[in-house]
Amino acid sequence: MFLNNKIIIFLFAFLSIIIPIQSLANNSYKEKNKRIISLNSLGADIVSKLDNDSLIGIPGSSLLKKESRFSSKVIVSEGRMPPSIEKIIKLNPSLVIGSAGFHDKILDKLARLNIETLKTDTKSINQLEILISDLSNYLNKEPSNLKESIKNCYLNKSKSRGTAVILASTKPLLSPNSNSWAGKLLDRFNFDNISKNLESKTEFKGYVNLSPELILKAKPSKIIVITFPGRNQNSLLSDPVLRKVISPNNSEIITFNYYGLINPGSLKTINNACEKLSNI
């Protein structure tokens, strides 16, 4: 079964990830010693690239564990466990970054303790740029090298790439509309996403339920299938629901990593997803 409990948690985790929906307090810019904790991997990656010394706490993400620059950071959350408020308070942060809708409870508790927080939510590259700019100003750092980190997201945007659909899962069939990070990336690279204008009626905001019949009728030229961490690609492509959808369609089947296209993850995974989309 493709959409198991682990994948449901992945889907919930990415839904509110990375654009500021509040402004950092003006007096924060005057502080000299910044101590930042990020509860999501992309926030941690951005802060680390701007000023690694200012990043003191991170989530226990597999993306961050792969890089030595995060080895000395305190892990404040691990797996399915919520962030430890005790660890966060002990670190005496000047700012805690978290995902709106996913970290609301702990961020609200911290705010009541007069710890500055930043709730984030992502929908597009443009909104990601706003977050980068906001954190650059907060840290008084030059952000130009970060834009270079996602340089592939600015390439080959005008080329028409035909119809497409992203299958984030097959049980149920979930696909992003244009109110999601993945949907906005398809729009950015000029794909005609067959689910872009469909209204989301699922618990996953920005994602819609599709029927096999709808996909067969639309005959998208590209079917993009998401591979999740720990999910074998061969078993995914042999999924009976997926085979039913693609066998009569003669669509091109393309697999994409969950990080980058569904969950931004990090600047590197975003850049990789953009590169792959630009080359289709």
Q: 259 or 202: whose pLDDT is higher? A: 259
pLDDT, tens digit (0-9, with 9 covering 90-100), for 235-250: 667 778 788 887 777 7
Beta strand spans in 60-107 (E): 74-77, 95-99
Domains within the chain, CATH numbers bracketed: 9-149 (3.40.50.1980), 153-278 (3.40.50.1980)
As a whole number of angstroms, the distance between CA 203 and CA 46 comes to: 29
Average pLDDT rounded to a whole number, residues 210-223: 92
Using 50, 70 and 90 to split pLDDT, how confident is the model at 11? Answer: low
> Are the beta carbons of 261 and 226 closer than 8 angstroms?
yes
CA within 13 Å, CB half, 254? 16
Using 50, 70 and 90 to split pLDDT, how confident is the model at 97? Answer: very high
As a whole number of angstroms, the distance between CA 96 and CA 55 comes to: 10
- Pick from 45-49, 148-152, 196-200, 203-207: least confident: 203-207
CA torsion angle 168 172 222 257 (round to 10): 20
Nearest to 205 by CA among 170, 241, 168: 168
Where does residue 119 rank: exposed (0-12), middle (13-18), buried (19+ CB within 10 A)? buried
Where does residue 237 rank: exposed (0-12), middle (13-18), buried (19+ CB within 10 A)? middle
Using 50, 70 and 90 to split pLDDT, how confident is the model at 187? Answer: very high
Sheet holding 207-209, edge to edge: 169-170, 173-176, 207-209
The secondary element (H helix, E strand) that includes residue 273 is helix 267-278
Which SS3 state, helix, strand or coil, does residue 164 take?
A: strand
Average pLDDT rounded to a whole number, residues 139-167: 91
How high is the pLDDT of residue 145? 86
| Whether the predicted pLDDT of 1 surpasses 50 | no
Average pLDDT rounded to a whole number, residues 248-261: 89
> Are the beta carbons of 197 and 187 closer than 8 angstroms?
no
Q: 159 or 132: whose pLDDT is higher? A: 132
Using 50, 70 and 90 to split pLDDT, how confident is the model at 231? Answer: low
pLDDT, tens digit (0-9, with 9 covering 90-100), for 17-61: 444 555 565 444 445 689 999 999 999 999 999 999 999 999 999
Average pLDDT rounded to a whole number, residues 6-15: 51
- Cis peptide bond upstream of 172, omega within 30: yes
The neighbouring-strand residues paired with 257 are: 227
